[in-house]
Amino acid sequence: MLTSNIFSPSFGESFCFQQKYFLSENFSVLGYILCVLTMKSLNPYWFLQSPVDVEHKYYILMDFLQSVEADLGDKKYSDQIQKVNRIYNDLKSFQKFKKLSDKTVRGMTQEEIEKTKELIGNIDEAEEVDYILDNSLGVLEKFITKINPYIEEIEKSLEFKIHNDKCLSSDRGYMIIRNNKNKKIKIYSWLFSIISVDETEQVGLLLSELLDPSPVYSKSDKKILDFVKTEVKNFSKYSDCFIIVDLEKSKGEDEISFELIKERSIEFIVTNYKNYLSSF
């Protein structure tokens, strides 16, 4: 059985020390801190916002991670694990390239993109930002190793079924995600394509969800395949890759979301395709 006691005693004591520090010596910024923390999330440029101070950012990150711990204890895996991964990848990307990860940038509003550019352009405490990055990455790396059992439980809850022999060699296909507890289903087409990110061409996996007509849940793989053959123009069960991803019946959408399953499915497709290409 998994336990929610992720933080070690020293980890918690360190947090309590930082909490006392801010309560006693930086009371003027406490209202701002609490306003940010009640959202239980961090915006993409949180580590660049004023005040640019390693102690201040440590406090914010630690409180966020404690909210993650609470949600994991309630079996709410999806959103929080994705948030932790996003924050970690953004900090690594900024440390190396002075920009957020491509995935985060693609999901940002224009206002957020402009705000990030403004903050980057106005950095006066570059050395302090480096300290924030180093400290935050160290905290996150320790935390991520402690949530591995939760990630392993998610992996065990997913079953990937390939319905033809084209999976390893196809650069396009269809992916069906089925939630058997909530009796829901989503269908995506996927395609490897050249995309431009910050004026740099990269290979990306593009996904499009089939919304009209809305797919109907069924336990039968054949019925789902028949639905796709009927509703998707030019689909061929012989030439198109067709993957069904099943979430085990004991897990519901509140525990493991479609979005998290989609991320794991993308990893599955990309890994298999890379393995196919490396065989030549």
Q: Lowest-pLDDT range, 104-108, 124-128, 201-205?
A: 201-205
Whether residue 120 is found in the same domain as residue 176: no
Parent domain of 180: 158-278
Sign of the alpha-carbon torsion through 65, 66, 71, 75: positive
Whether residue 35 is found in the same domain as residue 128: yes
* Residue, of 204 and 185, whose pLDDT is higher: 185
Please check whether residue 243 lies inside any domain of the structure. yes
What percent of the chain has pLDDT above 70? 77
**Could you read off the pLDDT of 29-45 as tens digits, one per residue?**
333 333 333 336 788 99
pLDDT of residue 11: 41
pLDDT of residue 276: 73
Please check whether residue 143 lies inside any domain of the structure. yes
Whether residue 16 is found in the same domain as residue 124: yes
> Within a 10 A sphere around the Cβ of 113, how many other Cβ atoms?
14
Confidence of residue 23 (pLDDT cuts 50, 70, 90): very low
Whether residue 47 is found in the same domain as residue 165: no
pLDDT of residue 259: 85
Whether residue 149 is found in the same domain as residue 162: no
**Could you read off the pLDDT of 213-266 as tens digits, one per residue?**
888 999 999 999 889 888 888 787 777 788 999 999 998 888 888 888 988 888
- Supply angle C-alpha 118, 119, 124, rounded to 5: 120
- pTM recorded for the entire structure: 0.64
Please check whether residue 180 lies inside any domain of the structure. yes
Matching residue, tokens 């995935």: 103
> Given a cut of 90, is residue 15 above it in pLDDT?
no
Closest by Cα among 234, 229, 246, 252 to 186: 246
Please check whether residue 4 lies inside any domain of the structure. no
Whether residue 148 is found in the same domain as residue 259: no
Q: Lowest-pLDDT range, 54-58, 193-197, 254-258?
A: 193-197
Amino acid identity at 127: E
Whether residue 144 is found in the same domain as residue 207: no
> Given a cut of 50, is residue 4 above it in pLDDT?
no
CB 78 within 8 A of CB 255: yes
Whether residue 50 is found in the same domain as residue 79: yes
- Mean pLDDT over each residue of the chain, to the nearest integer: 78
Please check whether residue 47 lies inside any domain of the structure. yes
Whether residue 168 is found in the same domain as residue 147: no
> Given a cut of 60, is residue 278 above it in pLDDT?
yes
Q: Could you say which of 118, 153, 188 is where a domain stops? A: 153
- DSSP β-ladder status, 158-162 and 172-179: unpaired
Please check whether residue 3 lies inside any domain of the structure. no
Give the mean model confidence (pLDDT) for residues 177-193. Answer: 91
Please check whether residue 62 lies inside any domain of the structure. yes
Q: Could you say which of 110, 134, 153 is where a domain stops? A: 153
User: Residues with Cβ < 8 Å from 149, sequence gap 6 or more?
Assistant: 2
**Could you read off the pLDDT of 137-179 as tens digits, one per residue?**
999 999 988 888 877 888 889 999 988 765 556 778 889 999 9
pLDDT of residue 77: 63
Whether residue 180 is found in the same domain as residue 101: no
CB 202 within 8 A of CB 270: no
Burial 257-279 (b: 16+ CB within 10 A, else e): bbebbbbbbeebbeebbeeeeee
Q: Could you say which of 98, 128, 153 is where a domain stops? A: 153
pLDDT of residue 79: 67
pLDDT of residue 22: 34
Work out how many domains the chain is built from and give that number. Answer: 2
Whether residue 70 is found in the same domain as residue 206: no
Burial 167-192 (b: 16+ CB within 10 A, else e): beebbebbbbbbbbeeeebbbbbbeb
Whether residue 13 is found in the same domain as residue 129: yes
Please check whether residue 2 lies inside any domain of the structure. no
CB 36 within 8 A of CB 67: no
